[in-house]
Amino acid sequence: MRKRILLIGTGGTIASEPTESGLSPGLSAEELLRSTPGVRELCDVDCMGLLSLDSTNMTPDHWQIMVRAIKERYDDYDGFVLTHGTDTMAYTAAALSYMIQNGGKPVVLTGAQKPMAFDTTDSRENLYDAFLCAVNDMPGVSIVFDHKVIAGTRAKKKRTKSFAAFESIDYPELGVIRDGMLFRYITRPSGESPIFFEKLDKNVSLVKLIPGMGREVLDFMFSKNDAVIIESFGVGGLPEAGGFRDCISTWCARGRFAVLTTQVESEGSDLGIYRVGSRLKNDPGVLEAYDMTTEAVYSKLMWILAGTKDPARVREMFYTPVACDILRTAVLPG
């Protein structure tokens, strides 16, 4: 039976046109579809213009709008293709992976480095490939880009201009598309019935450590947020001088959560290796990202903290894999 797919336009380069002040989204979802030959042969398509944003302007409020749009139409379609700007696509893909769980239908994000309107563009191939995945039972949230299929929790934008914009971090690609055929490397389990989580705790923030930074920045961020992700160096740790440890203990005792991760894109954190990190490892308030991307950690915390602030439950949920987001998990006490 022919599949029914909903194309949801949210903006991005793929839909952008030149203006006096630079590229800006202007094309509708229908126009994107019309410019992409072959899609109508694959499936029946309905189009929906949900947003028209440069993804730099996306916020967690927009993730909620996307999830609501999918939830309301989930039973009417076999899959969903979202066109989206590349700049924050990895954040959206991670967020949707936590906000739509256990769903058996594909939710495929794609976009382009060059607009559909340009002579040389990756728009057409990316959009066609996204539909190919949506009709081929690729369950769950993924990014399809430059012929790669990447799990939504594992994508990172690695290049600002080349067509090979995204890579899968510390996890194999789910598949590749070659000569118009999908070669599936990994089949993720297909959930029976989706669970939608619309609530997010938006008081989660991120601090990137730089040599010489004092604890004042961290104190400020903890004073404003329920959780602070600290992108540290290498396998992870905090400077021994300057009261960092005391800062974290103080705020965790007041019910805040600290997550240590690394600025290094691949291979994750491993706090136990060096003294600068191992002291934190046994700190009950401190969580460790291991091989989760920062994009995934950010939205996972927003999802978890919207439902509970109980430290033991937060810890358990944080280390429980969702949509292939974490392979290396901590041993839970007890």
Catalytic residue numbers, as ranges:
13
Nearer CB in complex with ligand ASP: 114/188? 114
Vertex 57 angle, CA 51 and 61, to 5°: 65
Q: How far is the CB of 62 from ligand ASP (least distance, A)?
A: 12
Total of chain residues touching ligand ASP, rule CB under 6 A: 11
**Which helix (H) or strand (E) segment is 109 a member of?**
strand 106-110
Q: How far is the CB of 23 from ligand ASP (least distance, A)?
A: 7
Identified binder of ligand ASP from the candidate list 5, 8, 9, 12, rule CB under 6 A: 12
The 8-class DSSP code of residue 136 comes to T
Asked whether the beta carbons of 75 and 165 are under 8 A apart, the reply is no
152 binds ligand ASP, rule: CB under 6 A: no
Piece in contact with ligand ASP (CB under 6 A), picked from 11-19, 75-83, 226-234, 316-324: 11-19
Residue facing ligand ASP at closest CB distance: 85
**Structural tokens at position 261:** 């991760």
261 binds ligand ASP, rule: CB under 6 A: no
Query: Helix crossing, 244-253 with 216-224: angle to 10°?
Result: 10
Piece in contact with ligand ASP (CB under 6 A), picked from 7-15, 41-49, 68-76, 276-284: 7-15
Identified binder of ligand ASP from the candidate list 9, 60, 79, 85, rule CB under 6 A: 85
Identified binder of ligand ASP from the candidate list 86, 97, 142, 232, rule CB under 6 A: 86
CA distances from 115 to 13, 53, 95, 302 (A): 5, 14, 25, 32
54 binds ligand ASP, rule: CB under 6 A: yes
- Binding-site string for ligand ASP from residue 297 to residue 326, where x marks contact by CB under 6 A and - marks none: ------------------------------
113 binds ligand ASP, rule: CB under 6 A: yes
The 8-class DSSP code of residue 14 comes to G
**Which helix (H) or strand (E) segment is 182 a member of?**
strand 181-184
In degrees and rounded to multiples of 5, residue 86 shows phi and psi of: -80, -25
Burial class (CB in 10 A: 0-12, 13-18, 19+), 150: buried
123 binds ligand ASP, rule: CB under 6 A: no
Q: How far is the CB of 161 from ligand ASP (least distance, A)?
A: 9
Query: Helix crossing, 294-307 with 60-73: angle to 10°?
Result: 70
Contacts with ligand ASP by CB under 6 A lie at 11-13, 54-56, 85-87, 111, 113
